[in-house]
Amino acid sequence: MTITRGRCLCGSVTYEYSGPENWRGHCHCESCRRNTSSPFTTFFGVPNEAYRFTGEKPSIYESSPGVRRLFCGKCGTPMAYDSDRFPDEIHFYAASLEDSSGFKPGFHVHCAEQVPWIELADDLPKYERSSTG
């Protein structure tokens, strides 16, 4: 089985997971934009039983009720999104992958919140909200 690894900028927080991701996609919601200071961010979902943190454990910020943002307490790199809405998986930031050369997102969500100065030129499906409401 394939092992995929990721890390923060300073290398303190590291993780690995086995097997395929559940999904891969871009998020345009305001909360994710503010968390990463970027116009949108890209995530992938991994089943809870398939991943583990292998370095230091990430720090946790509860950004809203039932939503936790995991990040490196040393360098501040956002690492993952964990939510009560998705109890069976964690969402890692694609930019944290050690090798993202084969990574391809499959969709855009929360496009209703997209910043007006970004023009999406890909043919990926675009959803006004998330797939779960």
- Predicted local confidence at residue 30, as pLDDT: 94
With DSSP H G I counted as helix, E B as strand and the rest as coil, what are the percentages for the chain, rounded to 5?
A: 10, 40, 50
CATH number of the domain that residue 10 is part of: 2.170.150.70
CA 77 to chain CA centroid, Å, is 12
Q: pLDDT digit string (tens) for 68-126? A: 999 999 999 999 999 999 999 999 999 999 999 999 999 999 999 999 999 999 999 99
Whether residue 7 lies inside any domain: the answer is: yes
Whether residue 94 lies inside any domain: the answer is: yes
Whether residue 50 lies inside any domain: the answer is: yes
Whether residue 53 lies inside any domain: the answer is: yes
pTM to 2 decimals? Answer: 0.92
Whether residue 131 lies inside any domain: the answer is: no
Q: Please give the residue range of the domain that contains residue 15.
A: 3-113
Whether residue 127 lies inside any domain: the answer is: no
Q: Token pair for residue 79?
A: 């690492």
- Predicted local confidence at residue 131, as pLDDT: 60
Q: How many CB atoms are located within 10 Å of the residue 44 CB?
A: 25
The more confidently predicted of residues 132 and 106 is 106
CA distance 9 to 88: 27
- Predicted local confidence at residue 133, as pLDDT: 44
Average pLDDT over residues 27-52: 96
CA distance 11 to 92: 16
- C-alpha to C-alpha distances, 62 to 36, 67, 128, 133, nearest whole angstrom: 15, 6, 24, 21
* Cβ proximity of 101 and 31 under 8 Å: no
Q: How many CB atoms are located within 10 Å of the residue 91 CB?
A: 22
**Could you give the number of structural domains in the chain?**
1
